[in-house]
Amino acid sequence: MDQITPQALKAILDGDGTIDDRRLMLLDVREPWEHAICRINGSDLLPMRQVPPNIAKLDQERPVVVICHHGIRSQQVARFLDQQGFKHVINLRGGIAAWASDVDPEMRTY
């Protein structure tokens, strides 16, 4: 499983939003109340506990960046997706907190 910094993810999103010519999926595994406070535009919310029963709805071929608050839950989910055969899983290092600190200082935090 790979890691990506907020700055590197921002560069991809500011470009064409693809890795290896495939559209990137931003998978936010936080809870709905967290997602309501702040989020990266274009992210899809699927709380951590809902990932296993909904795994068939996710495209295993599509590159996935997993996002949480500080990068701990997302790393667990990324490891799970990797074990399930997903081809390109990436954890956002430092989570949404690092994104707010390093990329979008105007973002609300909690």
Which of the following is catalytic: 4, 9, 68, 98? 68
Clarify whether 68 is annotated catalytic. yes
- Contact between 12 and 63 under an 8 Å Cβ cutoff? The reply is no
Q: Which residues are catalytic?
A: 68
